[in-house]
Structure 1
């Protein structure tokens, strides 16, 4: 495991995006585990604003609750739709 440190959340998000971008460029990103909360929002914003093609990548929602409808404000699906 490689640990990368950053001085700010913005710097951490930029570094994370660089890693995602490089893995996508090399066709080495097949599965992404996506979390809710405020920490990854800047990274998600950068991903949404990019021209990266995730059509061959699977995402796994790490924080979903069993039984919630996608329209429930407490669901992961709702969170991701609100923050894309």
Structure 2
């Protein structure tokens, strides 16, 4: 299947700079967001996801799997210079 040129232009290229002002943004319920962190992507076991940091519209979630030791930290938006989140 071929991708049209307009679709190609809307997808970020690897190594390119993001334009945060035009990036799509969504409002989600915390319960729905946390549901994404209950299954370990490594072993499919049950995991524990916790909100580690929240500031304005920025949220950071840490996921830890007790079964296999998998860990990840997920952020809803990139961190810019000196740990400042972009304005939304």
For normalisation by structure 2, the TM-score amounts to: 0.29
* Structure of greater Rg: 2
Of the two structures, which has the highest relative contact order with CA contacts closer than 8 Å and spacing of 6 or more?
1
**Counting strand residues as a fraction of each chain, which structure ranks higher?**
2
For normalisation by structure 1, the TM-score amounts to: 0.29
**Counting helix residues as a fraction of each chain, which structure ranks higher?**
1
